[in-house]
Amino acid sequence: MKKTIHVDSVLVKGEWKTQQAITIENGNISAIVDSSDKERNVTNSTDEHIKGTVIPGYVDTQVNGGGGVMFNHAPTLESVNTIANAHAQFGTTSLFPTLITDDLATICSAADAISQAIRLNHPSIMGVHFEGPHLSVAKKGVHKAAHIRSISDEELAVYTRKDIGQVIVTVAPENVSPEVIQALVKENVIVALGHSNAPYEVVQQALYAGATGFTHLFNAMSPLTSREPGMVGAALLSDAICGLIVDHQHLHTKSAELACKIKGEEGIMLVTDAMAHVGGVEDTVSFFDTKITRTITPTGEKLTTPDGTLAGSCLDMHSALIHCVNDLGVSLKSASVMASTTASRFTCTQNNIGQLIPGAAANFVVLDEQLHLKQVWQQGKRLDEAE
């Protein structure tokens, strides 16, 4: 049975279109035409009218946890489901569960959990992001130093598995050679650079080798200074896509604004770096041999370890989009592109997610005039509707 959704306004290929009819079949968009189009095929179709603005469902490439669960601590299919459901309520219809620096056994368990999700055609799971363990101790952030190491053959075998969807691996280029980056890219692994103290020239070598992204721009990377551009300078000058955590904690507003102006909507993807707190009720969760606690600051919620180290975020993607519009002066159109389309291009999934076009999944969110999130649709189903 077809379903036709009539909408007031929808973002299609970067352009606003009004009074449109979105036809959905088998969870995918089959057509987007003017509602008044008398030529559209309405045979065996049910019609529904939605008031508001429709934009693509959000795509998050950096999700450490949600719903009270950390992927590292419970790398299972059940945890994947919990994390995905926690973020879906905030409009994230596609995500990459992210495993931060850990031991080989946990890496293997995480890959197995993602494999199960992919095999079951989980609607939210596009693949997996391994953020570490091949990082710089000097820029480890909250990552456990004892687990940081050079890449092994066993780990390469996991990253190049063909049953775990699209794989993203974040590495520090001073710890992973250009030859290894080339080998990963040859196997269709997306290599991002981050948690690194590398100088500009070393970063350039990694980009030439095939790295195409930067993990949480500005955070845990060699800074831009007068005589050393560092990883930040390399990222801003490159064509690579940069993840950006716009939560009022990781970045000064003007730093985020600068990045958006330099890179544009096609060079920035919004990410959450979310921990278990998103969609969960716990203020404190265990994290390896320490704890992460949520506190309220004048600029919003903040996650830290007892020594004050920033430890991921309790940000959701819809809030990230709102921060961009309200605080950075970014248009809703550009914020939507950064929250969905750019990430789908980065992960080579743009024909399936991240934009509303025929053939893509019917993943979208509905906003009211104040940009409040009113509805979330995934594969043609409204998520708050009873099955």
Unique residue bearing structure tokens 């896509």: 241
**Is residue 131 part of an annotated ligand binding site?**
yes
**Is residue 73 part of an annotated ligand binding site?**
no
Spatial contact of 376 and 383, defined as CB atoms under 8 Å apart: yes
Q: Are residues 242 and 280 in the same domain?
A: yes
Q: Are residues 183 and 324 in the same domain?
A: yes
163 is catalytic: no
pLDDT at 276: 98
387 belongs to a structural domain: no
Question: What is the tally of structural domains in the chain?
Answer: 2
Collect all residues with Cβ–Cβ distance below 8 Å to 24 and sequence separation of at least 6: 2, 3, 4, 5, 30, 362, 380
Q: pTM above the 0.85 mark?
A: yes
pLDDT at 65: 98
Residue 379 has pLDDT above 80, yes or no: yes
Residue 38 has pLDDT above 60, yes or no: no
Q: Are residues 124 and 172 in the same domain?
A: yes
Collect all residues with Cβ–Cβ distance below 8 Å to 64 and sequence separation of at least 6: 70, 71, 72, 98, 99, 100, 131, 273, 274, 275, 276, 312
284 belongs to a structural domain: yes
Q: Are residues 26 and 110 in the same domain?
A: no
Which CATH number is 252's domain given? 3.20.20.140
**Is residue 248 part of an annotated ligand binding site?**
no
**Is residue 312 part of an annotated ligand binding site?**
yes
pLDDT at 385: 63
Q: Are residues 250 and 207 in the same domain?
A: yes
**Is residue 354 part of an annotated ligand binding site?**
no
What average pLDDT score do residues 62-72 get?
A: 98
Residue 157 has pLDDT above 50, yes or no: yes
The range of the structural domain enclosing residue 91 comes to: 58-347
Task: Indicate the average pLDDT of the chain.
Answer: 96
Which CATH number is 371's domain given? 2.30.40.10
Q: Are residues 277 and 374 in the same domain?
A: no
- Residues 225-283: pLDDT tens digits? 999 999 999 999 999 999 999 999 999 999 999 999 999 999 999 999 999 999 999 99
Catalytic residue among 60, 102, 247, 273: 273
362 belongs to a structural domain: yes
pLDDT at 41: 59
- Residues 140-154: pLDDT tens digits? 999 999 999 999 999
Residue 387 has pLDDT above 50, yes or no: no
Residue 43's pLDDT band, with cuts at 50, 70 and 90, is low
**Is residue 250 part of an annotated ligand binding site?**
yes
pLDDT at 37: 78
Kindly tell me the sign of the dihedral angle through the C-alpha atoms of 276, 215, 243, 166.
Answer: negative
Q: Are residues 30 and 173 in the same domain?
A: no
Q: Are residues 368 and 245 in the same domain?
A: no
pLDDT at 292: 97
